[in-house]
Amino acid sequence: MKEAFRNKTFPLSRLATFDTFSVGLKKHHVAALLEFDVTESRKMLHELRRQGVSISFTAWLIKVIGSVLQKHPEATAYRRGKRKLMIFNDINISILVEKVIEGEKVPIPLVIEKANEKDAPEISAEIENAKKQELTNGDIVINRRRNVSEVIYYKLPGFARRFVWKVMLANPGFAYRKMGNAAITSVGMIGQVNGWFLHRSVHPVSFGIGSVIKKPVVINNEIIIREILNMTVLVDHDLVDGAPMVRLLKDLTKQIETGDSINSKSGGKRE
């Protein structure tokens, strides 16, 4: 007789995913659902790849986001006490890299340190190296050795693990070292979906990269088919008010749509 159900054990590392989602629900994020015309930028990137430059679209977006956030540092700050912010000089961006652990695909964070200084090919190489790296069930972050406290973390009940996250977020310097001050999740790059996804994050600012879809756009009173990127941006309203938030999004739109940072074979090299 066929069983009515089956049990499946998920990797231990997913506990951290559950906890960050629960804690992220309590953040005061404002969500912006945006569309970017990336037709020209993708043409430039394609030309760079044709010339032999190894650069992915996601890596270039990370570079652009890092550069834009450096101009708006308060958006990446952490609250320190009731009335103070801790603002960092560099932008460390946490991204998710899908790894196979115990036969199951699991998203594991990778922190791209100083994304504002690195060029896109460097970031591309860092992501590719992370994809090849072997991980164990208990690893939480790629390229970070698991310490005793993290081993203990997995053995705690849910309410205690979530308390650990609250304590970490109350210590900005520690949070910055462990997980950076911005996050990017690119679920939409896995397959084409014509829409947005509303993700959750414990970071001050977070970007949900959707799919690139061909859509009709009106340009100079003519309907033209363009490549449009859907993106959801979460900005913590405790850190940034409406006007600064709009300025950040305007700068991001300009950089993504014009491809200004693609000024050499490096795809936006250091200044």
d(CA 29, CA 232): 11
Residue 99 has pLDDT above 80, yes or no: no
Average pLDDT over residues 184-208: 84
pLDDT digits (tens, 9 = 90+) for 61-79: 999 999 999 999 999 999 9
Average pLDDT over residues 220-226: 93
May I ask the CATH class of domain 14-258? alpha beta
Average pLDDT over residues 170-189: 88
Reported pTM: 0.85
Dump pLDDT digits (tens) for 13-42: 778 778 888 988 889 999 999 999 999 999
What is the structure's pLDDT at 2?
75
Average pLDDT along the chain: 85
CB atoms within 10 A of CB 45: 21
- 32 DSSP β-pair partners: 233
- Look at residue 265 in the predicted model and tell me its pLDDT: 43
Tokens matching residue 48 = 């760079």
- Apex 201 CA angle, 195 and 203, nearest 5: 125
Q: State both tokens at 121.
A: 């090919």
Residue 155 pLDDT > 80: yes
**How far is 259 from 169, CA to CA, in rounded Å?**
34
103-122, pLDDT tens digit by residue?
667 777 889 999 999 999 99
Query: Domains of the chain: which residue ranges?
Result: 14-258
